[in-house]
Amino acid sequence: MARTARNTKVMNRFDVTSRLIAKLHNEEAVIGGIGNTNFDLWAAGHRPQNFYMLGSMGLAFPIALGVALAQPERRVFALEGDGSLLMHLGALSTIATLRPKNLTMVVFDNGIYQITGGQPTPAAKVADLVAIASASGITNSAWAADEEDFERLIEGSLSASQPTLIGVRIDDKPGVGTTRRDPVQIRERFMHGLGVRQPL
């Protein structure tokens, strides 16, 4: 199973995140997982529809599921690291059961806990996260072969009839920026961005 991942190009998180953001023109929600994942989302340029997770490792997909259920007409993207996803593999089955077609999940897989010193994850040499997602019921799961393939998979997800998961092999580079750690402002501005409330 792991061979599938080995055949894919090693990409860069910031570059791939920037490619995703450049494709968004309809106020799509983007949930960034803990650490480097949301640092690169921040560095790609803040949008009012971005949510940055500062703790609760592994909950980017569940948070995105909640947004997707609440606003079925809005496209929702979730970005998560491989180590984070390992924390909540069960969430994949919950998402598969609810089948929100407006949810696209991206897993950045470098096989390490980059931010804590580059220790390998327990999955690094033995598990295929896309195969796990597929076996968890997210049948529309695929590794991106390269940047162009990633963009093609993102575009395909926009008209999918079920949730999409895209695996991206990435290098070991740290995030380019650092998210401003202001949870209340992050949450409030996200709610403004989603049209739930207006600024005072």
Partner 1 sequence: MAMAEEQVSPHTSHEKSSAERTWHGIILQTLKRNDVRLVPYVPDRVLTPLIKNLHADPFFTTFATAREEEAVGILSGAWMAGLRGAMLMQTSGFATLANVLASLAVPYQIPLIMFVSERGTLGEFNYGQALVCRTMRPVLDSLALEHHTITRLDELEFIVDRSIKQAVATQAPVALVLSPLLTGGKVFDK
Q: How far is it, in rounded angstroms, from Cα 59 to Cα 111?
A: 19
Q: Decide if 68 contacts 102 (C-beta within 8 A).
A: yes
b/e sequence 124-136, b meaning 16+ C-beta within 10 Å: beebbbbbbbbeb
When asked if residue 63 is in the footprint of partner 1 (CB under 8 A), the reply is yes
Structure tokens at 122: 């327990």
Q: Decide if 118 contacts 172 (C-beta within 8 A).
A: yes
- Please name the residues in contact with 28: beta carbons below 8 A apart, sequence gap of 6 or more: 49, 74, 75, 76, 77
Site string for partner 1, 15-54 (x = CB under 8 A): --------------x-x-------------------x-xx
Size of the site for partner 1 (CB under 8 A): 39
Burial class (CB in 10 A: 0-12, 13-18, 19+), 26: exposed
61 vs 108 by CB, closer to partner 1? 61
To partner 1, the closest distance from the beta carbon of 137 in angstroms equals 12
To partner 1, the closest distance from the beta carbon of 31 in angstroms equals 7
60 vs 144 by CB, closer to partner 1? 60
Applying CB under 8 A, the span of 35-43, 70-78, 104-112, 154-162 interacting with partner 1 comes to 70-78
Applying CB under 8 A, the span of 68-76, 107-115, 116-124, 160-168 interacting with partner 1 comes to 68-76
Task: Considering only CA atoms, give the Rg of the chain.
Answer: 15
| From 94, 147, 160, 177, residue interacting with partner 1 (rule: CB under 8 A) | 94
Closest by alpha carbon to 186, among 8, 6, 60, 47? 47
To partner 1, the closest distance from the beta carbon of 175 in angstroms equals 18
Q: What is the binding site for partner 1 (CB under 8 A)? A: 29, 31, 51, 53-71, 74, 88, 90-91, 93-94, 97-98, 183-184, 186-187, 190-191, 194-196
